[in-house]
Each structure stands twice: as C-alpha cells, then as structure tokens.
C-alpha cells in the first residue's frame, strides 16, 4: 500500500457558541487548531494532553461524529472529510472507535452478542448460527466467555464492558482503531489487562491504534509515537522512547515532570509551570503556551510556532527549543511513520503507574 493508513492534514474544529435569543454569534471556541499527523499500519500513536486540549475532539473528527471546520482526513489516501454521510459507510470498515465511557457507550437494551455483532450486520446479513459464531469468536478474542453473549450490559463490570466496546470495534476487523480514553474509566489493574489485550491484538492482527489518553504511564506502556496537544495544537510529536527520555517542548517537559512516578528515590525534574490552561475561546497570541512558559521570549508572544522536524525523528513547535531555520510554506508537517522507530516495547506487567 502506498502512503500511510491514516493521514490528517491541518485538521481544525471551531465551535461557534450561541449567545441567546438575539442570535448574535457568540465567541468562537478553537477546540482543534491545525492538527496534522499520520499513522502507519500496525503502529500506535498516542495523543496526550490535559482535559480540554482537544484530544477527544480529534477522535470525534476522525470518525466524523463531528464535522471539521477545516483540514482533511485521509484514509488509505482517500479524503473522507468531503464525503457525504452515506458515502462514509465503506470507510467505517477501515476505522473503528472504542469509546471513553464503558457505561454509556453500550445500549442498555441489547445483549452483549447483539452489541458486538451489530457492526458486521450493518454490512452483511448473518443468519442465527453465523451471528452466534461471530459473537463467540469476538468474545473469546477479548478474553471473555462465549456464554456471556446473552447477558445485558448491566450484568457486566466496567472492565468487561470496556472489553465489549473493544470487541465491537474489532468486529469489522478494521486496520485502524481509535481509542478515546479507552482505559481511563477503569481502575489500574483492569487498565493493565485491557492495555495488554490491545497490545496482543495489535501483534496478532496488525491493527494500528490512535490512542488518546491523559495518562502518561499508559502512553509510555503502549505508544510507539506520542503527540502532545496543548490548547488544540500539537506541540510535540516524537517517537515514544525519545520523548520520554528527553522531551523537547517545555510543556511536554512539564507534563512528564508532573506525572506521578512510583519511585521515591527518583529525583523529580522541577519545571515551574504557573497558572491555568488558558481558555480556547480567547487563546493567547503567538505560542499558546507562552504565558506559562519559563523559556518564553518576545517571539513567542507574536508568532505561532510551527511543528519543526528535528534530526532524530521528532518534531516540536517551540521557537526556543526548535527554532525554524528554513521558511517554507508548509504549515504543519507530518513525520514519517515509525517503522524506523520500531521500538521494542518493554513488556510491563500490572502496575504500570
């Protein structure tokens, strides 16, 4: 296949807030701003960031649950942002999503079997036996017993429900799965089970993941590459190992420093980051991070930094750490796939935090 499995170019989503009955247009919320990246077959790209930085919106834009304001999403080289709703259906087979909340993302009135086989039944007719066989197979894939197919979602635990969500996403055997905070609602031991399940499935079936999370330990565990988002923009995009060894962008640095580490002897990097995340309604000029950045210089207040590629395969948007040397009109860059960075993942067991 030529080109990446998924390519995102300058994806942007603005929400226009209503100001009430006079219909005067309210403030503009810049949820996602000029986001570009690509995902290769079989790799895991993690998108991390604080609450409200736009990472879930990116996931919803990829699935076209919400319509983008600008930019393109290319699946197998075909632009899906310009398609009509019904033309989108064939691409549903290429890309599936695991939802954040295992409680509200399963229809409480359908049985587990009905839920997980539904995507397949949207595309082909199954008879009773085929449906049962498919449900049993999917349940086994996610480590559940086939007898459970007749139960309702309310009869399952949170971890089991999340497995059902994953089974549903697997049903169409898509080469790409978007997981929006797929483990955040679960406790740590169940998180580890689900993460290991996802990694096993990736090895067996060669599935690529876009894995959205706010939890860096999870990201370190499963990510091949990491994209850090801040106020709707990607500020750093780097191979996982390099990223965790030495982040480039000061925000990424602060994020890693702030993550709890289960090692009392390890000396924590002290990165002073003050203040709150600014509102996406009225983002700061220039680099959105400059009001909180210890390194900020005059240029950061004026000019929005581009994502600049660096020699070791990373890219960062920072005037100080990654100054743009050449002036090209290419605004967002997409770093080549991580096949070059096929990192040997440490096979961590439970206790990833």
Partner 1 sequence: MFAGAGLLALLIALSLAAPLFSGDPQNMDPFKRLQPPSTELWLGSDNLGRDVFARTVFGARISLLVGLISAAGAAFGGLLIGVMAGYSRQFDNIVMRVMDGLMSIPTILLAIALVSLTGPGIGILIVAITVPQIPTVARLVRSVVLGVRERPYVEAAVCGGARLPKVLWRHILPSTIPPLMVQSANVCANAILIEAGLSFLGAGVPPMIPSWGNMIASSRLYLAIAPLTVFAPGICLAVTVLAINLLGDGLRDLFDPRSKRRR
Return residues touching partner 1 (CB under 8 A).
63, 65, 86, 89, 92-93, 96-97, 99-101, 104-110, 118-119, 122-123, 165, 168, 171-172
Pick between residue 107 and residue 282 the one whose CB is nearest to partner 1. Answer: 107
Rg (CA), the chain: 21
CB of 13 to partner 1, least distance (A): 16
123 SS3 class: coil
The answer to whether 61 touches 9, Cβ cutoff 8 Å, is: no
CB of 102 to partner 1, least distance (A): 9
Pairing of β 208-213 and β 176-180:
parallel
CA separation for the pair 185, 198 (Å, rounded) = 16
Token pair of 67 as six digits: 């319509």
CB of 170 to partner 1, least distance (A): 11
Pick between residue 28 and residue 66 the one whose CB is nearest to partner 1. Answer: 66
Pick between residue 110 and residue 343 the one whose CB is nearest to partner 1. Answer: 110
CB of 43 to partner 1, least distance (A): 21
Pick between residue 137 and residue 299 the one whose CB is nearest to partner 1. Answer: 137
291 SS3 class: helix
Contacting residues for 322 by C-beta, under 8 A, at least 6 apart: 248, 249, 305, 308, 310, 315, 316
CB of 119 to partner 1, least distance (A): 4
Q: How far is CA 334 from the centre of its chain?
A: 16
The answer to whether 75 touches 9, Cβ cutoff 8 Å, is: no
Pick between residue 51 and residue 349 the one whose CB is nearest to partner 1. Answer: 51
Helices then strands, each counted (H, E), the chain: 10, 12
CB of 95 to partner 1, least distance (A): 8
Helix (H) or strand (E) holding 47: strand 44-48
Pick between residue 172 and residue 348 the one whose CB is nearest to partner 1. Answer: 172
């Amino acid at each position: 296949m030529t080109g990446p499995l998924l390519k995102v170019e300058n994806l942007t989503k603005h929400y226009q807030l209503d100001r009430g009955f006079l219909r005067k247009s309210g403030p503009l919320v810049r949820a996602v701003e000029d986001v570009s990246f690509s995902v290769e077959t079989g790799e895991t790209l993690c998108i991390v960031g604080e609450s409200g930085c736009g990472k879930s919106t990116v996931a919803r834009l990829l699935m076209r649950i919400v319509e983008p304001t600008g930019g393109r999403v290319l699946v197998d080289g075909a632009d899906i942002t310009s398609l009509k709703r019904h033309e989108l259906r064939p691409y549903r087979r290429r890309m599936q999503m695991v939802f954040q909340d295992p409680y509200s993302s399963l229809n409480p009135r359908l049985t587990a079997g009905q839920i997980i086989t539904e995507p397949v039944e949207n595309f082909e007719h199954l008879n009773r036996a085929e449906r049962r066989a498919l449900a049993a197979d999917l349940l086994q894939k996610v480590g559940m017993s086939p007898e459970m197919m007749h139960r309702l979602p309310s009869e399952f635990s949170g971890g089991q429900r999340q497995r059902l969500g994953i089974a549903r996403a697997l049903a169409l055997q898509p080469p790409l799965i978007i997981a929006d905070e797929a483990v955040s609602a679960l406790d740590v031991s169940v998180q580890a089970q689900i993460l290991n399940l996802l990694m096993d499935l990736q090895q067996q079936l060669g599935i690529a993941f876009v894995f959205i999370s706010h939890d860096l330990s999870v990201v370190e565990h499963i990510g091949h590459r990491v994209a850090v988002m801040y106020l709707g923009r990607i500020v750093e995009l780097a191979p996982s190992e390099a990223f965790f060894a030495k982040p480039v962008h000061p925000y990424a640095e602060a994020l890693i420093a702030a993550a709890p580490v289960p090692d009392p002897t390890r000396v924590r990097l002290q990165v002073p980051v003050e203040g709150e995340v600014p509102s996406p309604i009225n983002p700061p000029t220039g680099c959105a991070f400059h009001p909180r950045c210890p390194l900020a210089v005059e240029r950061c207040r004026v000019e929005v930094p581009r994502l600049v590629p660096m020699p070791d395969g990373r890219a960062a948007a920072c005037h100080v750490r990654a100054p743009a040397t050449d002036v090209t009109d290419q605004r967002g860059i997409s770093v080549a796939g991580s096949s070059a960075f096929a990192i040997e993942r440490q096979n961590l067991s439970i206790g990833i935090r």
